[in-house]
Amino acid sequence: MNIESLSDNLNEIILEAAALMPGQISEETAIITKDKNSLVTEVDKNIEEFLVNALSKLIPNAGFIAEEGTAVNLGNEYNWIIDPLDGTTNFIHGIPAYCISVGLKKGNEIVLGSVFEFIRENYYTAIHGGGSYMNGTQIHVSKTKKLDDALLATGFPYYDFRFIEQYIEVFKDFMKLSRGIRRLGSAALDMAYVASGKFDGFFEYSLHPWDVAAGVILVREAGGTVTDFGNGNNFLFGKEMLASNSLIHTELINIIGMHFR
């Protein structure tokens, strides 16, 4: 299978899917509450259905892990991991930070990832061994060497509050020790911003595979590091993620480890 050709096809499909996004939410747009503070719109569902149908033709035997459940079958070798609208709450409230995120997993490895940022129309792509790009130009993580010079990103838990006390302690430490912390409301965009050097690091717990699959390969191919909070590899399904420019990763791990381990 030619991964470069597959990436080109994926990019075309995502741009077609992006055309289904209205300029803004309307009064007629159906909004459904899935769980506490977890919302989905008909836009999410329409984009996901389009992506699943189109991607099924690229790799007929591939499985899908998709946020809105359009397809939940697992493939033996290849699996598409899809978030049709990461940042749904932002979209609903008119906050310009939401995106489409698609990753392709071969075995246990993410080999392809794309994140399309609505509003700014930035397209982030990465291929295993081929680097990370934004709008066709190669990108790299930042060169920040110390935490006190670093700008970090995070996400707040919205339904899983089991570790809220630990999270707050980590947040307090990073607030004191870093240049600042931002919260966009889209993990996929957070990781794309780490890959392109806008953020120096990103941490969050209570994540799902579709939140981070594309971001994993974007960060890694841009020269960054992705681990779980214990500096291990259980980040895709382990619900916790730390991504950085590699240079400050040890500092971040040490602080998180004081509270989460």
Per-residue confidence of the chain (261 residues) as pLDDT tens digits?
788 889 999 999 999 999 988 765 545 555 555 555 455 578 888 899 999 999 999 998 999 998 777 666 788 899 999 999 999 889 888 899 999 999 999 999 999 999 999 999 999 999 999 999 999 999 999 999 999 999 999 999 877 888 999 999 999 999 999 999 999 999 999 999 999 999 999 999 999 999 999 999 999 999 999 999 999 999 999 999 999 999 999 999 999 999 987
Q: Dihedral through CA 225, CA 231, CA 236, CA 238, nearest 10?
A: -160
**How is the chain split into domains, by residue range?**
3-138, 147-260
The amino acid occupying position 254 is N
Tell me 133's DSSP state: E
Query: How far is 219 from 223, CA to CA, in rounded Å?
Result: 6
User: Quick one: pLDDT at residue 235?
Assistant: 95
Element (H, E) at 53: helix 42-58
User: Quick one: pLDDT at residue 215?
Assistant: 98
Q: Smallest Cα–Cα separation from 13: which of 91, 127, 102, 83?
A: 102
Range 147-260 classified under CATH 3.40.190.80: yes
pTM for the model: 0.93
Contact 241, 212 (CB under 8 A): yes
Query: How far is 234 from 248, CA to CA, in rounded Å?
Result: 20
CATH annotation of 3-138? 3.30.540.10
